[in-house]
Amino acid sequence: MITNSIYDVHVKRIHEYKRQLLNALHVITLYNRIKADPTAKNVPRTVMFGGKAAPGYHMAKQIIKLINSVATVVNNDPIVGDKLKVVYLENYRVSMAEKIIPAADLSEQISTAGTEASGTGNMKFMLNGALTIGTLDGANVEMQEECGKENIFIFGMTVDDVTELQKRGYNANDFIAKNAELAQCIDQIETGYFTQDSPDLLKDLANSIRHHDRFLVCADYEAFIKKQDEVSQTFLDRQKWIKMCLHNIASCGKFSTDRTISEYATQIWGVEPNSIRLAAPYEGAEGTNE
Q: What pLDDT shows up at residue 284?
A: 66
Superfamily holding 6-253: Glycogen Phosphorylase B; (3.40.50.2000)
More confident residue, 278 or 203: 203
- Among 158, 264, 266, residue whose Cα is nearest residue 219: 158
- Domain ranges for the chain: 6-253, 256-290
Total-model pTM: 0.91
What would the pLDDT profile of 249-271 be if each residue is shown by its tens digit?
999 999 988 888 888 988 999 99
Report d(CA 166, CA 216) in Å as an integer.
9
Mean pLDDT of 202-218: 98
Q: What pLDDT shows up at residue 194?
A: 98
Q: What pLDDT shows up at residue 273?
A: 74
Summary mean pLDDT of the chain: 95
Residue-by-residue DSSP string for 51-91: ----TT-HHHHHHHHHHHHHHHHHHT-TTTGGGEEEEEETT
DSSP-based three-state secondary structure for 109: strand
What would the pLDDT profile of 52-102 be if each residue is shown by its tens digit?
999 999 999 999 999 999 999 999 999 999 999 999 999 999 999 999 999
Q: What pLDDT shows up at residue 274?
A: 75
* pLDDT at position 159 over 60: yes
Under 8 Å between Cβ of 223 and 156: yes
* Terminal CA-CA length for the chain: 51
